[in-house]
Structure 1
Amino acid sequence: MAALAGVDRSYMGHIERGEKNITLTKIYQISDALEIEVADLFPRSQEKS
């Protein structure tokens, strides 16, 4: 995954564990590697009725 996204393997581990802040550039690289939209990486809020 890290190689596909062009991100160092250890840096990716830090991101996954929430130990590092991530830049927008890296977010786009990861979403491209996963072939998903950036918005899909973030949880959507649940609207209360």
Structure 2
Amino acid sequence: MRDLAKRGSKANRLHQFYLRYSVLFQAERSLIQNSFLAPPCLVAIEGD
């Protein structure tokens, strides 16, 4: 039973992570579509 609960909380955390970052990815995607230049945040991430 404990394994199931652990697995559930891990899935929930992944889901929260996905929800949070899918919003960011959507914003970046629309920025890319609206301009031919890569968004500064993408460049910064790749620069790390």
The reply to whether TM is greater than 0.5 is: no
Choose between structure 1 and 2 for higher RCO, CA contacts under 8 A separated by at least 6 residues: 1
TM-score (norm 2): 0.29
Which structure is larger by alpha-carbon Rg, 1 or 2? 2
TM-score by length of 1: 0.28
Bigger proportion of residues as helix: 2
